Chain A
Amino acid sequence: MDLDALTGCLASSACLVTQTTSGFIIGMLLFLVAVGLTLIFGVLKVVNFSHGAFYMFGAYFAMTAYQLTGSFALAMLCGAAGTALLGLIFERVFMSRVYGSDVLMQLLVCYAFVLIFDDVVRMIWGPEFKSMGMPAAFQVAPLFIAGGVVPPYYLLLIGVALAAAVILGLGLARTRLGKVIRAAAHNPGMVSALGINTGLIYGGVFALGGMLAGLAGALAAPVRSLTPGMGFSVLIESFIVTVIGGMGSILGALIGALLIGMIRSFGSLGFPLFTEGLMYLFMVIVLVSRPTGLFGKEVA
């Protein structure tokens, strides 16, 4: 425990800005992963335990595309599109076979793929740490806000994540497709009786969830190191986020992700060894006081 460091930071505007920014980027990356998780749970009622693997694949796809083409935009596109395709295949070929059977069976299929995906990455890209490197466009002097250092790339990252949140939120609330998806979440039997292909919707939602996680991985690739198994800690954290926010709630995922981001960022100053413990403690407190999460619907 190092409470002096924490209070010292809270008193200095420079440190406050730096830590808040870092909390923001952790939160925004987590949000992209968690919102896919929450979406898949909301519509398919499946807890996608392999979701972290999509984050990992997003990062590796982006790195490979960047090394091949040198284009940052193309790297992001590859990360997102590649994982979307992977999600679609995974859902149609494997997950769709265990709908309606025991929840444990669904978890088990996902767990199997966590093991398989990690080994596939190890086979293709090797077991050692990789790094994509910061694209030249962002290798410029950092901004100084109230004495705090803010790399320009962070602003892009936060901007993209916020844009995804807004597009997703509006898309689900306002568009016809959004309505169909929400209807399928609520009553798949009725939706399919109306002549809408629910299998397509399930696959599409899974692909969308995979794409968001892949985008998060691609965005994280320049600032984090890549390793097989990197999806795992992200997965656990995004679970915490969805549970705190309420399973199935997009706003909940956003708030939960930001809370966890800040806990990690400021917690690492005050409790360097117990930062993870703080997150779990927070999760326990939320679940005990509100069993369905902050924005979850009360289930009878």
Chain B
Amino acid sequence: MTELQAEQGAPALDVPRTEAKPRRNRDALIALAVFVVLALLPMVFSSKLLLDFVIRCAAYGLFATSLNLLVGYTGLTSFGHGMFFGLGAYGFGLMMQKTGVPIPVAFVATLAITFVVALVIGAICVRLKEIYFAFVTLAFQMLIHSTILSWVSLTGGDQGLRGGIPRPPFWGIDLSNHLHLYVMSCALLVIGLFLMHQIAQSPFGYTLRMIRDNATRASFIGIDVWRAKLTIFVLAALFASTGGVIMALFVSGAYPEFAYWTISGEGIFINMLGGVTTFLGPMVGTVLLLILNDTVTRLTEYHGIVLGIVILFFAIGLRKGLMDFVVEWYARRRAGSGERS
């Protein structure tokens, strides 16, 4: 066996293969198709529960997928990503309650606020590595949570933003109509996923993977690691914030729990459940967790035990997320049949 063959026999690195050419058009078509299917869903199933479920999936899915850009692609384990979810919900809710600007303006303004906050916090956080990065993001999250709790005159403290968020119609869209809200959430979800996938597949996305695998080498070949980490930190914050906006629209309010660290914990959990090496892993995880939460809380009052055992199954049994497991199993099966033929 030559050296080359020996190298080919070595186990493949945990890095998705580079695509030969950009697949932007194909992705856009898939995204459009998914959106059409989701938008037509209410015609087939008119159940309000199902629509609510999809809206919640959109909010948490955007949040979890954006977290995976940090955790899975860049190796930045943020424990405070939920702060941007909360920021989106509070920013948008406050804007609508206090200023009465049209919804698109409030949405863009919320993203602008998130951008500035994420830039400042990110500039501080991404200097730190591993567990210290996790802790400093957690600290910032709790700082924002404490601020929300103590700034009662603005945020309503532990009662949250109550009294409903006004939803004046715009461009013929009336978000107080449940169906409109549903279609809008689906659109935001699909657009968000499409954009994040483009980021992940871009040269910048591969830079992030390189930083995850070997930051020293990345900086040796001239990559500004700090700047790349900060960029993805801010981008991920924008998508998480969008998830928060959807949530605020859905519950017509914002609550301190949206900015509590448990949201970040759930985000990490969703990622682990679904798997971090595939782009859609977090979406699968979101659906799994929401179904799990809904059914388990209905069946037993001790849902912590059931949820805990399920988590143990993934952590100790599979040792990886569901999508990772499936992808690996499929690859092994294909490799196995390839050897036989």
Would you call B162 an interface residue if the criterion is a C-beta within 8 Å of the partner chain's C-beta atoms?
no
| Cβ–Cβ contact A112 & B312, under 8 A | yes
| Cβ–Cβ contact B308 & A112, under 8 A | yes
Bound CA span A118–B149, Å: 25
Sorted nearest first, the 6 A-B pairs with minimum C-beta distance are: A277-B146, A273-B150, A116-B308, A115-B304, A112-B311, A119-B304
Q: A103-B77, A111-B269, A274-B150 are in contact. Are A116 and B305 (CB under 8 A)?
A: yes
| Cβ–Cβ contact A122 & B302, under 8 A | yes
Q: Which of B136, B147, B272, B302 has a CB less than 8 Å from the CB of A104?
A: B272
Would you call A47 an interface residue if the criterion is a C-beta within 8 Å of the partner chain's C-beta atoms?
yes
Q: A108-B272, A277-B147 are in contact. Are A94 and B136 (CB under 8 A)?
A: no
Would you call A281 an interface residue if the criterion is a C-beta within 8 Å of the partner chain's C-beta atoms?
yes
Closest to A271 in B: B150
| Cβ–Cβ contact A115 & B305, under 8 A | yes
Interface positions, chain B 126-176, Cβ under 8 Å from A, are: 127-132, 135-136, 138-140, 142-143, 146-147, 149-150, 152, 157
Number of contacts between A and B (CB, 8 Å)?
112
Q: What chain A residues lie within 8 Å of B206 (beta carbons)? A: none
Q: A98-B316, A109-B315 are in contact. Are A280 and B132 (CB under 8 A)?
A: no
Would you call B38 an interface residue if the criterion is a C-beta within 8 Å of the partner chain's C-beta atoms?
no
The bracket for how many chain B residues form the interface is 35 or more
Q: Which of A94, A111, A274, A291 has a CB less than 8 Å from the CB of B265?
A: A111
Q: What chain B residues lie within 8 Å of A280 (beta carbons)? A: 139-140, 142-143, 146
**A residues engaging B (CB < 8 A)?**
47, 94, 97-98, 101, 103-105, 107-109, 111-116, 118-120, 122-123, 236, 239-240, 243, 247, 271, 273-274, 276-277, 280-281, 283-284, 287-288, 291-292, 299
Bound CA span A108–B269, Å: 7
What 0/1 pattern do residues 69 to 81 of B give for CB contact below 8 A with A? 0010000010000
Closest to B132 in A: A291
Q: Apart from A111-B311, A281-B143, A284-B140, what are 17 other A-B pairs with CB-CB below 8 Å?
A: A47-B131, A108-B268, A108-B311, A109-B311, A109-B312, A112-B315, A114-B308, A119-B302, A239-B135, A274-B146, A276-B142, A277-B147, A280-B142, A284-B143, A287-B135, A291-B128, A291-B129
Closest to A45 in B: B131
Would you call B325 an interface residue if the criterion is a C-beta within 8 Å of the partner chain's C-beta atoms?
no
Bound CA span A47–B131, Å: 9
Q: A119-B305, A122-B302 are in contact. Are A104 and B139 (CB under 8 A)?
A: no
Q: Which of B143, B149, B308 has a CB less than 8 Å from the CB of A113?
A: B308
Would you call B314 an interface residue if the criterion is a C-beta within 8 Å of the partner chain's C-beta atoms?
yes
Q: What chain B residues lie within 8 Å of A243 (beta carbons)? A: 132, 135, 139
Q: What chain B residues lie within 8 Å of A113 (beta carbons)? A: 308
Would you call B124 an interface residue if the criterion is a C-beta within 8 Å of the partner chain's C-beta atoms?
yes
Q: Which of A107, A236, A284 has a CB less than 8 Å from the CB of B268?
A: A107
Q: A103-B77, A277-B150 are in contact. Are A288 and B143 (CB under 8 A)?
A: no
| Cβ–Cβ contact B307 & A108, under 8 A | no
Q: What chain B residues lie within 8 Å of A123 (beta carbons)? A: 302
| Cβ–Cβ contact B312 & A94, under 8 A | yes
Q: Which of A108, A115, A116, A240 has a CB less than 8 Å from the CB of B314?
A: A108
What 0/1 pattern do residues 86 to 125 of B give for CB contact below 8 A with A? 0000000000000000000000000000000000000010
| Cβ–Cβ contact A292 & B143, under 8 A | no
| Cβ–Cβ contact B150 & A97, under 8 A | no
Q: What chain B residues lie within 8 Å of A111 (beta carbons)? A: 265, 269, 311
Most chain B CB neighbours (cut-off 10 Å) among A47, A101, A111, A288: A111
Subset of 7 A-B contacts with CB under 8 Å: A98-B316, A116-B309, A273-B157, A283-B135, A283-B139, A284-B124, A284-B136
Q: How many Å from the CB of B148 to the closest CB on chain A?
A: 10
Q: What chain B residues lie within 8 Å of A247 (beta carbons)? A: 131
Q: Which of B142, B269, B316 has a CB less than 8 Å from the CB of A97?
A: B316
Bound CA span A87–B112, Å: 47
Q: What chain B residues lie within 8 Å of A101 (beta carbons)? A: 319
| Cβ–Cβ contact A287 & B305, under 8 A | no
Q: How many Å from the CB of A25 to the closest CB on chain B?
A: 23
Q: What chain A residues lie within 8 Å of B303 (beta carbons)? A: 119
Closest to B141 in A: A280
Q: A281-B143, A284-B140 are in contact. Are A108 and B150 (CB under 8 A)?
A: no
| Cβ–Cβ contact B136 & A288, under 8 A | yes
| Cβ–Cβ contact A94 & B316, under 8 A | yes
Q: What chain A residues lie within 8 Å of B304 (beta carbons)? A: 115-116, 118-119
Most chain B CB neighbours (cut-off 10 Å) among A98, A122, A273: A273
Bound CA span A21–B124, Å: 35
Q: What chain A residues lie within 8 Å of B147 (beta carbons)? A: 274, 277
Q: How many Å from the CB of A298 to the closest CB on chain B?
A: 12
Bound CA span A114–B272, Å: 17
Q: What chain B residues lie within 8 Å of A105 (beta carbons)? A: 272, 315, 319
Interface positions, chain B 267-290, Cβ under 8 Å from A, are: 268-269, 271-272, 276
Q: How many Å from the CB of B158 to the closest CB on chain A?
A: 10
| Cβ–Cβ contact B311 & A115, under 8 A | yes
Bound CA span A144–B143, Å: 37
Closest to B312 in A: A112
| Cβ–Cβ contact B136 & A115, under 8 A | no
Bound CA span A240–B132, Å: 11
Q: A94-B316, A105-B315 are in contact. Are A287 and B131 (CB under 8 A)?
A: no
Q: What chain B residues lie within 8 Å of A299 (beta carbons)? A: 129
Interface positions, chain B 304-341, Cβ under 8 Å from A, are: 304-305, 307-309, 311-312, 314-316, 319
| Cβ–Cβ contact A291 & B139, under 8 A | no
Q: What chain B residues lie within 8 Å of A107 (beta carbons)? A: 268
Closest to A127 in B: B301
Bound CA span A113–B310, Å: 11
Q: How many Å from the CB of B13 to the closest CB on chain A?
A: 16
